[in-house]
Structure 1
């Protein structure tokens, strides 16, 4: 049997490394990255602000959101579903809401969300730091 050329060996190693990385990612999640969460926030800021005293846009200002009862940010016109929701925003509730927005809270005004768990964890890590008083 002939020995693989350097190019073939490099390609085999690259494929093996990529497969190993994919398998590791499939088995578990990486620690949340607030830096990556800041990049994901770029999509959210089309509808939300985060600065203390920031204005509401399509969605409410998210400053101080953690620990706040859902549907209570000042001067925002929430959907009846959000006003009636009996939940407080925590890592867990925000993760569930972002995962399946409409299923988690039927009647909400927000659409979309983030299907990928790692994206949600990263965004939540960034929000916790950026939305703090």
Structure 2
């Protein structure tokens, strides 16, 4: 059916303040707003769910958010999120390894002299925790794809501020 009018047929009333991103896919309409939440809507404007500005994949860096999903099991992105198996990644860049408040680090990790930067985070996942942070409790995970590591870092640079 071809519409021959510009009349509004559906309206999404988000209640989330300014909308900074809108995307369409097979699941409906996704909105990202100034309140830091991503919401999913049907094409008729009915809410289908919401989640804090982390995966489901963000609209600004869907690949980085997708790669982060494996990390989200153990790591939060906000300072006030409940502790998980790993420390929060909030404010990770520029922070010395083993210094996030409130987390019980292994002695092996505390003995390392690493400052988290885009380069050191990339090296962690290029070589794997067993090689890069030997003796830490972090499970062995590698990201062999340089483009996936770059997408993850770009996502973290935004999501951990």
**1:58 equivalent among 61, 65, 85:** 85
Q: Which 5+ residue runs of structure 1 have no aligned equivalent? A: 1-32
Q: Which consecutive aligned stretches of 4+ in structure 1 deviate over 6 angstroms post-superposition?
A: none
Q: Which 5+ residue runs of structure 2 have no aligned equivalent? A: 1-59
| TM-score normalised by length of structure 2 | 0.59
| 3-state SS of paired residue (2:105) | coil
Greater relative CO, 1 or 2 (CA 8 Å, sep 6+): 1
**1:118 equivalent among 138, 147, 154:** 147
1:46 positional shift: 0.7
Aligned match of 1:127: 156
1:92 positional shift: 0.5
Relative to structure 1, the CA distance from residue 113 to residue 59 in structure 2 (aligned partners, 3 Å threshold; closer, same or farther) is farther
1:41 positional shift: 1.2
Q: CA RMSD in A?
A: 1.4
Output one character per residue of 1:6-27: Cα deviation in whole Å (capped at 9) or x when no partner. xxxxxxxxxxxxxxxxxxxxxx
1:37 and 2:64 equivalent?
Answer: yes
- Structure with greater helix share of residues: 1
The count of corresponding residues between Structure 1 and Structure 2 is 100
Structure 2 Cα separation of the partners of residues 128 and 79 of structure 1: 25
